[in-house]
Structure formats: C-alpha cells, structure tokens
Amino acid sequence: MDQSRYDYDIVKSFVHWSILWGVVAVLVGVLISFQLVLPELNITQYFTYGRLRPLHTNAGIFGWGIGSFFALFFYMVQRLCRRPLWSPGLAKFQLWFFNATIIAAAVTLLLGFSQSKEYHELEWPVDIMVVILWVIFSINIIMTVIKREEEHMYISLWFMMASLIGVAVLYLVNSAVIPVSLFKSYSAFAGTNDAHVQWWYGHNAVAMVLTAPPLAVFYYFLPKATNVPIYSHRLSIIAFWSLIFMYLWTGAHHLLWTPVPDWVQTLAMAFSIMLIAPSWGSVFNGYLSMNGQWHQMRDNYLVKFLILGITFYGLQTLQGPSQAVRTFSAFVHYTEWVPGHVHMGTMGWVSMVLFAAIYYVVPKMYGRELYSIPLANMHFWLVLIGQLIFSVSLWIAGLQQASMWHSIGADGSLTYTFMEVLVEMYPYYWARAVAGLIYLSGVGLFVYNLYKTANNKQALTSTAAQAA
Ligand code: HEM
Ligand code: HEM
C-alpha cells in the first residue's frame, strides 16, 4: 500500500509523551530508593515515600508502559492491516486525554487520594477517565482490524486484541465502588471477596499490560530487526491461546496463606505452574527465530535489547511460578525478593523491548539514521547492569530477610527484632539506589540519542520518502 497513507504523527506524539512519563517514573523510582536509606529526603507530606511510590508505579506502568503501547499499537496496526487508522481524529483526542488522565492521576496521588488497592489506586473520577481512554483506544484499534486490507492476522494483532478486551474487563470489575464524595469511595466487594477481585485484577494487569502487549511488540519487531521471519506462527498462536486461558486463574497466588478458600489458592498455584509452558512457547519461538542469526547479537543493537528482553521474560516466568508455590511463598512473600522479581520484568523484559521498538520506529518515522549506534550500545549496557544489580541485590536481601524473620530461639521467641532485620537491609537498599542511577543514566542516553536523531537534518536515509 502507499506508505504515505500511514499516520505517523500520532505515533510520534505518543512516543514523545511516553518517554517523558518514563523519565518521570525512573526519576521518582530513584528518589524513593534514596528515601529508603535517607529518610530526611521525605520532604513535605506531598513528597513522602507513601505518596511517591504509587506515583512511581502508575507513571511506570500507565505512563511509560501503556503510553508506549498506544504509540506502538498505532504503528503496528496500520502496517499489519495495510491501512490507515480508522479514526485519526479519535487518536488525537486520545493523546490529549491520555496526558490529562496521567496529570490528574499524579496530582490526586500526591494529594493523598487513593483507593488503597495496588495498581488501582486512582479514585473514581480518574477511574472514569481511564475507562473513557481505553474505550476510545480499543474502538480505534478494533475498527482498524475489522476494516483491514490484509486477510492474515499476524500474531501481534492477537496479543493486541487480547490486551484491549482483557484490560477492559479487569478494570471495570475492579472499579466497582460506591462513591461517598468526590475523592472517596468504598469497594462494592467485601472482605476476602474484595481481596480476591483485587488480585485477580492485579495479576492480570501483569498479563494484559506487562505480558501481552510487550509480546505483541516482540513478535513484530524481532523479525523487523533481524530481517528473518519468526520461527513458527503456529507455535505463537498455540502459545497465545494457552497463555490467555491460563492467566485468568492465577490471581490468588498473591493471597496464599490468607482466608481465601484453600481450593482457590491451590487452583491458582497449579495454573501458575502450568503457565511456564505457554510463556516458554514464546521464549523458544524467539530463540529459534535466531537460528543462524546469533552473530547479530554482536553487531545489531536492536537484537541485543530484544533477545535480552525475552530472556528476562523467560527467567521471570520461571521465577514467578516458583513464588506461587505455597512453601516457597511462605518464605519470600513480604520480602525484598518480590520487588526484585518485579523489576526484572519491568526494567528488564518490558522496558528492553520498548527501547528496541522505539529505536526502530523513531529513525523510520523521521526518515533518518539513528544518531549514534555506540550510544545505543552504551545505553544497552547501562540498563542491563543497572537492572542486574537492582534485582540480584534484592533477591539476596529477600533471602536474608526471610531467614532472619524465620529464625527462632530455643524458647520459641524470635531471634531478631523487626528493626534489626531492617538495619541489615540498608546495604542492599544502597545498592538498589546506585543501580537506579546507572539505569537512569542509560535512559538519559536513550533520550539524547533520539533527540539528536529527530533533529539531525543532515542524515536523511533512503527511507525518508517512505516515512514521510
Ligand atoms: C508465569 C508468569 C508469572 C507468574 C506465575 C508470576 C507469579 C508471581 C507471584 C506469585 C507474585 C507474588 C509474590 C508475592 O507477593 O509473594 C508475583 C508478583 C509480581 N509479578 Fe509476577 N509472575 C509471573 C510473571 C510476571 C511478569 C512477566 C511480570 C512483568 C513485569 C510480573 C510482574 C509482577 C509484579 C508487578 C508483581 C508484584 C505484585 C505486587 O505488587 O505485590 N510477573 N508474580
Ligand atoms: C531506575 C529505575 C527504577 C527504580 C530505581 C525503581 C525503584 C522502585 C522502588 C524503590 C520501589 C518500591 C519497592 C518497595 O515497595 O519495597 C519500586 C516499586 C515498583 N516499581 Fe520501580 N523502579 C524503577 C523502574 C521501574 C519501571 C521502569 C517500572 C515499570 C515499568 C517500575 C515498576 C514498579 C512496580 C510495579 C513496583 C511495585 C513493586 C511491588 O509492589 O513489589 N519500576 N520501584
């Protein structure tokens, strides 16, 4: 199809904004890491750890994660369907509504308004904004797919559609609240039901935001980066349907050893272990697509980000199921181990894949070569090293913390007080803060490189006309 029919302006705008929110997320992540070792950094009630932490998670998942998915879904859907977006006007409105929603979220969180549910902190008026945002996004993507000019539906489209429908269902159910004032509401569910619905939502947010969309991106951009098709489309479809079927049963692995019925916990545990198969279906598909292409790990910076990304996904989906086993959960639950797990996924898997995709689309859309490949390589090493120090130090911290908490003297009393264990965590907290700075410097290079690429008037590539 005539390439000029593709709407890249909206993709560019979403990329700009998602990067901005990504920088905010990482900056606040670094700040809260330092707050944990230097409590005097908790200045004024608005910038205390308790308020900045949800700002960090929301900016990371919704601003950086979902913002980039908006951009990349708009990019991929047009190319995979060989037609322009169904409604560019709606997409433009979505851009401004997206930023308005993120700003409303940030302001209300800093003012202390919260539903106190993790990843669902936003109070009901902001919740409604999120729903409107998602509905207009979904309509635009689904209508583009329905009116596509390419019969075959590539695997990325399946993952995109699953994410659209999945997030809508999860968010609506967990948003059921009874408002008592403009910024206060109470959940429509009570007791263990409330906890269960919350973690059914919480874990599937991992599935439908931090797994399905990055997989859509991975499946699209790996072949683009290597110039070789994926190993097996059939395997990707089998992995897709089994992943979607299994994820929805696993939420209660966040509630092991709680008053949630035992059989529900066991079901969640069993399905979590079964999830290894479809997760690794995609990991193997990625690795096997590299058959005969492994030399590209040396000289293709995009491939480095993508293959390290899928490797972290593979490790994450082995570690996750092990945490879902009751006995292991009894040991690591509530410890620093869990944020170590989380950040291998967010800083490793999700962000690595996003970095690669954005590095791919920005030069294409601006019709330029990337400003500096050595800088991109340096970015890769900085985020890799930062992420590894972050996760590994927290895993060790978590194991030490768990051992100290479980240590009991001959008379049955605890060997260590809570404070004694906390003090032992300080070196690990320092390591995380330094790791955060290393990661942040990598992100700084990423932004600089893209800025210079977009403004590099000289280096127009042969793809300039195509990208215009
Ligand atoms: C087979 C796949 C996975 C399974 C079975 C799994 C399992 C788990 C379990 C059992 C926990 C709870 C740990 C605890 O609190 O004791 C957890 C936490 C978490 N996981 Fe995974 N995980 C998987 C993959 C992923 C992936 C790919 C990501 C992407 C970033 C991710 C992100 C998270 C997050 C954000 C939390 C923290 C939730 C909280 O706030 O408590 N997980 N996971
Ligand atoms: C330099 C980078 C980063 C630093 C220094 C950082 C730091 C932190 C800190 C200190 C916490 C609180 C941990 C706790 O409660 O004990 C946290 C939590 C979290 N961060 Fe980050 N973060 C970074 C990047 C990211 C990114 C890019 C994302 C998302 C895309 C993200 C998502 C999360 C999530 C989901 C949690 C909640 C974890 C849990 O409840 O276990 N972080 N982060």
CATH number at residue 25: 1.20.210.10
Counting from 1 in the atom list of ligand 1, the atom nearest the Cα of 329 is 16
Counting from 1 in the atom list of ligand 2, the atom nearest the Cα of 347 is 27
Per-residue model confidence as pLDDT tens digits over 94-126: 999 999 999 999 999 999 999 999 999 999 999
Q: What distance in angstroms lies between residue 334's CA and the mean position of ligand 2's atoms? A: 15
- Residue closest via CA to ligand 1's atom 14 equals 333
Q: What distance in angstroms lies between residue 31's CA and the mean position of ligand 2's atoms? A: 11
In a domain, 203, yes or no: yes
> Is the CB of residue 65 below 6 angstroms from any atom belonging to ligand 2?
yes
In a domain, 425, yes or no: yes
Ligand nearest to the CA of 214: 1
Ligand nearest to the CA of 330: 1
In angstroms, the first-to-last Cα distance of the chain is 14
In a domain, 368, yes or no: yes
Whether the pLDDT of residue 55 is over 50: the answer is yes
The CA distance from 12 to 8, in Å, is 6
Ligand nearest to the CA of 397: 2
In a domain, 217, yes or no: yes
Helix/strand/coil for 188: coil
Q: What distance in angstroms lies between residue 237's CA and the mean position of ligand 2's atoms? A: 32
Per-residue model confidence as pLDDT tens digits over 380-439: 999 999 999 999 999 999 999 999 999 999 999 999 999 999 999 999 999 999 999 999
User: What is the DSSP track for 394-434?
Assistant: HHHHHHHHHHHHH-B-TTS-BSS-HHHHHHHHHHHHHHHHH
* C-alpha pair distances (Å), 39 with each of 45, 54, 105, 177, 228: 13, 18, 25, 35, 51
In a domain, 464, yes or no: no
How many degrees, rounded to 5, is the angle at CA 165 between CA 160 and CA 167? 95
Q: Ligand 1, residues 341, 351, 390: which to mutate, most atoms within 8 A of Cβ?
A: 341
**Closest C-alpha to 269, from 315, 201, 323, 194:** 323
> Is the CB of residue 213 below 6 angstroms from any atom belonging to ligand 2?
no
- Residue closest via CA to ligand 1's atom 34 equals 342
> Is the CB of residue 444 below 6 angstroms from any atom belonging to ligand 2?
no
Whether the pLDDT of residue 68 is over 70: the answer is yes
Tokens 């330092």 sit on residue: 34
Q: pLDDT value at position 3? A: 65
> Mean per-residue pLDDT for 186-191?
95
Q: Are 201 and 251 in contact (CB under 8 A)?
A: yes
Tokens 């930023």 sit on residue: 99
Q: Ligand 1, residues 254, 329, 401: which to mutate, most atoms within 8 A of Cβ?
A: 254
Outline where 275-350 has alpha helix (H): 276-289, 296-299, 301-323, 326-332, 337-343
Whether the pLDDT of residue 464 is over 50: the answer is no
**Closest C-alpha to 219, from 431, 73, 363, 346:** 73
In a domain, 11, yes or no: yes
Q: Are 95 and 17 in contact (CB under 8 A)?
A: yes
Q: pLDDT value at position 462? A: 47
Ligand nearest to the CA of 333: 1
Whether the pLDDT of residue 219 is over 70: the answer is yes
Per-residue model confidence as pLDDT tens digits over 140-154: 999 999 999 999 999
Q: Is 374 exposed, middle or buried (0-12, 13-18, 19+ CB in 10 A)?
A: exposed
Buried b (16+ CB within 10 A) or exposed e, 290-302: beebeebeeebbb
Q: Are 117 and 251 in contact (CB under 8 A)?
A: no
Its domain, for residue 208, covers 3-457
- Total number of residues shown for the chain: 468
The CA distance from 77 to 73, in Å, is 6
Q: pLDDT value at position 164? A: 98
- Residue closest via CA to ligand 2's atom 14 equals 339
Q: Which two tokens stand for residue 158?
A: 């399946």
- Residue closest via CA to ligand 1's atom 30 equals 345
Residue 5: pLDDT band by 50, 70, 90 thresholds? confident
Mean pLDDT for the chain overall: 95
- Residue closest via CA to ligand 2's atom 13 equals 339
Ligand nearest to the CA of 273: 1
- The sign one gets for the Cα dihedral 456, 459, 464, 467 is negative
> Is the CB of residue 175 below 6 angstroms from any atom belonging to ligand 2?
no
Whether the pLDDT of residue 276 is over 70: the answer is yes
Q: Are 22 and 63 in contact (CB under 8 A)?
A: yes
In a domain, 462, yes or no: no
Q: What distance in angstroms lies between residue 243's CA and the mean position of ligand 1's atoms? A: 15
How many degrees, rounded to 5, is the angle at CA 195 between CA 339 and CA 279? 50
Q: What distance in angstroms lies between residue 309's CA and the mean position of ligand 1's atoms? A: 16
**Closest C-alpha to 380, from 316, 434, 449:** 449
Q: Are 257 and 329 in contact (CB under 8 A)?
A: yes
What's the domain count of the chain? 1
Tokens 């291998």 sit on residue: 344
Q: pLDDT value at position 340? A: 98
Q: pLDDT value at position 463? A: 47
> Is the CB of residue 249 below 6 angstroms from any atom belonging to ligand 2?
no
Please give the helix or strand (H or E) that residue 7 lies within, else none. none
pTM, two decimal places: 0.96
Q: pLDDT value at position 461? A: 55
Q: pLDDT value at position 459? A: 62
Counting from 1 in the atom list of ligand 2, the atom nearest the Cα of 36 is 10
Q: What distance in angstroms lies between residue 10's CA and the mean position of ligand 1's atoms? A: 32
Least confident of 68-72, 276-280, 335-339, 459-463: 459-463
Q: Ligand 2, residues 31, 49, 56, 199: which to mutate, most atoms within 8 A of Cβ?
A: 56
Ligand nearest to the CA of 428: 2
Q: Could you tell me what percent of the chain has a pLDDT over 70?
A: 97
What long-range pairs does 146-151 form, CB within 8 A, spacing at least 24? 147/81, 147/83, 147/86, 148/80, 148/81, 148/82, 148/83, 149/1, 149/81, 149/82, 149/83, 150/80, 150/81, 150/82
Q: pLDDT value at position 456? A: 81
Q: pLDDT value at position 465? A: 40
Whether the pLDDT of residue 460 is over 80: the answer is no
Q: Which two tokens stand for residue 289?
A: 């697509």
Q: pLDDT value at position 273? A: 98
Q: Which two tokens stand for residue 308?
A: 């390290």
Ligand nearest to the CA of 326: 1
In a domain, 463, yes or no: no
Q: What distance in angstroms lies between residue 173's CA and the mean position of ligand 1's atoms? A: 20
**Closest C-alpha to 19, from 328, 467, 449, 335:** 449
Q: What distance in angstroms lies between residue 3's CA and the mean position of ligand 1's atoms? A: 40
178 has which bridge partners?
186
Name every protein residue with a CB atom under 6 angstroms from any ligand 1 atom: 118, 206, 210-211, 250, 253-254, 272, 275, 279, 313, 316-317, 320-321, 323-324, 329, 332-333, 338, 341-342, 345-346, 349-350
